[in-house]
Amino acid sequence: MWVNDSPKAGPLAQPNTNPNNLTTVPKQNFPTSVISQILIMAKPGNITPPKTDRFTFWLGNTLGSPVFLVACFTIIVLYILWNLGYLPGLCPFDGYPFSGLEMVVSVFAIFLSVTVLISQNRQRKLEKVREEVEFEINVRAEREITKVLDMLHRIQRKLGIDEPDEELEKMKQNTDVDRLHEQVSKEAQDK
């Protein structure tokens, strides 16, 4: 048994002080906020993004596709051919230098740049969530590895192999997550 599951232990079980008893270890309180939220959201039917997010996602996918690029190129070529008089039966309405086309393309460029900025903002939010999840997973893994090292060291002592190892003692020390957060925040502010 890896954790103390006895009813008397409660959620914050005290560490086992008996080095000969290897059946119970303290239960850890891991940061689960972001991970549990993502797991709940990942279940089918639980993700209901706002209509604006869905529209933005659709717009970004549509405007960023090769089909859209070919369609824009085709429309511009047809517009130029029409206004140069190369398409029979159609009267030119915007002669060379095509000022109407220039205005439409300029407005469309503004529209596209805003769409790109919206997509980048959305991507940045997703990356932030991914980074938080990865950090929490790394913290969990570090705590689990520290716990395994501690258990192995106790097993080693129980078997009578008690050689001093400074590196092992350093590895068994818990990482101060709050200090890490402060350090990362300070470095981010300095940049």
Residue 95: exposed, middle, or buried by beta-carbon count in 10 A (0-12, 13-18, 19+)? exposed
Residue 51 and residue 109: Cα distance in Å, rounded? 24
Predicted pLDDT of residue 41: 56
Q: How far is CA 20 from CA 119, 149, 153, in A?
A: 58, 16, 11
Predicted pLDDT of residue 32: 54
Structure tokens at 78: 């047809």
Predicted pLDDT of residue 39: 60
pLDDT over 80 (residue 2): no
Residue 35 and residue 131: Cα distance in Å, rounded? 11
Poorest-pLDDT segment among 14-18, 51-55, 144-148, 170-174: 14-18
Least Cα distance to 42 among 130, 118, 137 occurs for 130
Predicted pLDDT of residue 42: 55
Residues 24-48: tens digit of each pLDDT: 444 444 445 556 666 655 555 555 6
Predicted pLDDT of residue 78: 92
pLDDT over 80 (residue 22): no
Rg (CA), the chain: 31
